[in-house]
Amino acid sequence: ALSRAVCFSSMISLMFAHVLIQTFTCALLAATNTNLLVVYLSADMALFILYKIARKDFYYYVNLSGFLRVMFSVVHRFSVKTLANFTMLMQFRNPCELGGLPYIFSLFISFAASFVSSSLYLSHYNEGEGDTTKLSDDTLKTILASLYSVWFLSSVTFIAVIKREYLHTFFSLETASDFSKRFYLDLREDQEETKGAMLSYHCDVYKEWGDELIKPWTSKNWSRWEEEKPMWFRDAWIENVPNTYIPYDWRVKYNKTKGRVDPQMRRRSSMQQVKTLLGVEEGK
In a domain, 148, yes or no: yes
| Same domain membership, residue 265 and residue 227 | yes
Torsion angle defined by CA atoms of residues 127, 132, 138 and 142, in that order, rounded to the nearest 10 degrees? -150
Looking at residue 265, what is its pLDDT?
39
In a domain, 283, yes or no: no
Q: Indicate the range of 55-59, 151-155, 198-202, 278-282 predicted with least confidence.
A: 278-282
Backbone φ/ψ region at 283: left (φ over 0), alpha (ψ -120 to 50), beta: left
In a domain, 82, yes or no: yes
Provide the greatest CA pair distance for the chain.
Answer: 82
In a domain, 284, yes or no: no
125 pLDDT band (50/70/90 cuts)?
confident
In a domain, 71, yes or no: yes
Torsion angle defined by CA atoms of residues 52, 57, 63 and 67, in that order, rounded to the nearest 10 degrees? 50
Could you count the other beta carbons within 10 Å of the beta carbon of residue 30?
16
Look at residues 170, 189, 215 and tell me which one is the last residue of a structural domain.
170
| Same domain membership, residue 156 and residue 85 | yes
Residue 34 exposed, middle or buried by CB count within 10 Å (0-12, 13-18, 19+): exposed
| Same domain membership, residue 84 and residue 10 | yes
| Same domain membership, residue 264 and residue 125 | no
| DSSP secondary structure letters along 210-231 | HHHHHHHHHHHHHHHHHHH--T
The residue that leads in pLDDT, 206 or 253, is: 206
| Same domain membership, residue 164 and residue 25 | yes
Looking at residue 158, what is its pLDDT?
94
Whether 266 has a pLDDT exceeding 90, the answer reads no
Residue pLDDT, tens place only, 92-114: 999 999 999 999 999 999 999 99
| Same domain membership, residue 220 and residue 111 | no
H or E segment and range at residue 277: helix 263-278
264 pLDDT band (50/70/90 cuts)?
very low
Looking at residue 131, what is its pLDDT?
60
Could you count the other beta carbons within 10 Å of the beta carbon of residue 32?
20
Angle at 116 between CA 115 and CA 117, to 5 degrees: 95
Q: Tell me the C-alpha distance between 194 and 105, whole Å.
A: 32
Q: How many domains does the chain have?
A: 2
Looking at residue 2, what is its pLDDT?
85
In a domain, 86, yes or no: yes
Residues 6-22: what's their mean pLDDT? Answer: 94
In a domain, 273, yes or no: yes
Looking at residue 42, what is its pLDDT?
96
| Same domain membership, residue 187 and residue 148 | no
Whether 157 has a pLDDT exceeding 70, the answer reads yes
| Same domain membership, residue 147 and residue 6 | yes
Domain encompassing residue 194: 177-278
| Same domain membership, residue 266 and residue 207 | yes
In a domain, 34, yes or no: yes
Residues 189-210: what's their mean pLDDT? Answer: 92
Residue pLDDT, tens place only, 48-59: 999 999 999 999
| Same domain membership, residue 225 and residue 247 | yes
Look at residues 170, 186, 202 and tell me which one is the last residue of a structural domain.
170
pTM as predicted: 0.82
Residue pLDDT, tens place only, 268-284: 344 444 454 555 555 44
| Same domain membership, residue 161 and residue 20 | yes
Look at residues 170, 190, 209 and tell me which one is the last residue of a structural domain.
170
| Same domain membership, residue 86 and residue 44 | yes
